[in-house]
Amino acid sequence: MFSPRYAPEWYIGTMGFSYAEWNGVFYPDDLPMHRRLGYYSRIFNAVEIDSTFYGTPRPETVRSWAASTPPEFRFSVKVPRLLTHEAGLVGVMDELPRFIHTVQLLEDKLGAILFQLPPSFRPDRLPALQACLAGLPGGIRYAVEIRHQSWYTAEIETPEDPPGEPALAQMLREVGVCWAATEYPHLPRRIYPTADFLYLRWIGQHGTFPRHDQERIDRTVELRHWGQILQSAQSEIEERLMIFGFFNNDYAGFAAGTANRFKELSGLPASPFLPPQQGKLF
């Protein structure tokens, strides 16, 4: 899929890892909860931590994540919703540095920090986003996910800028922050390279599936299409990229299975689950 000269450095995994429904289909039934992350890290080399969305973790929790995983493993962490959703990124420069300082305890295992913004965060809030990003400490990968389609059509008016490019893309490129590409209802499948890494999230529609213990939709066609989009994005950059990609249970019914499916379609080694997956519907 990709030129050997610019073969990406892939970090593929799931959004969260501690799901009771995965017992017996991903995790062995008798695996203690405190060993789940270590087991998970034998299958995937990255995870997006969902719990940080609900608050800054305790330092000892962050240290335990790092201690449970191999050196090459990477964590993505979500900025707490108190800052992104409730405060709308306004007046957050007291609490946000504390959060960043805490997750930096992951050291080299900190892959990226994700700002997941709500659908109510629209282009008129661009100044607030710009001010927040400008105050971030350097040396860390940051990504921003937006969930309102108007961001994709809010274009730059000046003639020297790329035709049809959203204003958000230019702003993020100026500060070296990644625009996270998202598989989410009503959003286009599009990648705007704005940083030296790419970040993708396959989310789906919440509540689509009654359980999350097997893939219930074959997403092969969609995943192949995303592979083509990735290849096109990488060809624009012409350098070796880090690519972070995370799957939600709501995308196809079983995030771990879909993550492995994507790895196989991308020519990446996919580690089998122990015990093997059960009950495939296709």
pLDDT tens-place string over residues 83-123:
999 999 999 999 999 999 999 999 999 999 999 999 999 99
Burial class (CB in 10 A: 0-12, 13-18, 19+), 102: middle
Cβ-based neighbours of 159, under 8 Å, separated by 6 or more? none
Proportion of the chain above pLDDT 70, given as a percent: 90
- Token pair, residue 230, equals 């990735």
> Is a pLDDT exceeding 50 seen at residue 279?
no
Write the single-letter amino acid at 235: S
Strand order from edge to edge, sheet including 46-49: 178-179, 142-145, 110-116, 74-78, 46-49, 9-15, 242-247, 197-202, 181-183
Q: At 199, which helix (H) or strand (E)? A: strand 197-202
Q: What is the predicted pLDDT for the residue at 153?
A: 84
Within 10 angstroms of residue 227's Cβ, the number of other Cβ atoms is 16
103/109 Cα distance (integer angstroms): 10
Question: Dihedral sign, CA of 200, 204, 207, 212?
Answer: negative
Q: Assign residue 3 a region: left if phi > 0, alpha if psi is -120 to 50, beta otherwise?
A: beta
Say what the pTM is: 0.92
More confident residue, 26 or 154: 26
Domain ranges (residues) in the chain = 4-265
Q: What is the predicted pLDDT for the residue at 5?
A: 53
- Token pair, residue 262, equals 């994507």
Mean pLDDT of 67-89: 98
CATH class of 4-265: alpha beta
148/119 Cα distance (integer angstroms): 5
214/201 Cα distance (integer angstroms): 19
57-66, 150-159, 272-281: which is most confident: 57-66
* Helix 59-67 vs helix 95-103: crossing angle, to nearest 10: 30
Strand partners, 155: 166
Q: What is the predicted pLDDT for the residue at 179?
A: 98
Q: Where are the alpha helices (DSSP H) in the chain?
A: 36-43, 59-67, 81, 95-103, 126-134, 167-175, 220-237, 249-252, 255-265
> Is a pLDDT exceeding 60 seen at residue 28?
yes
243, 11 in Cβ contact below 8 A?
Answer: yes
Cβ-based neighbours of 28, under 8 Å, separated by 6 or more? 39, 274, 275
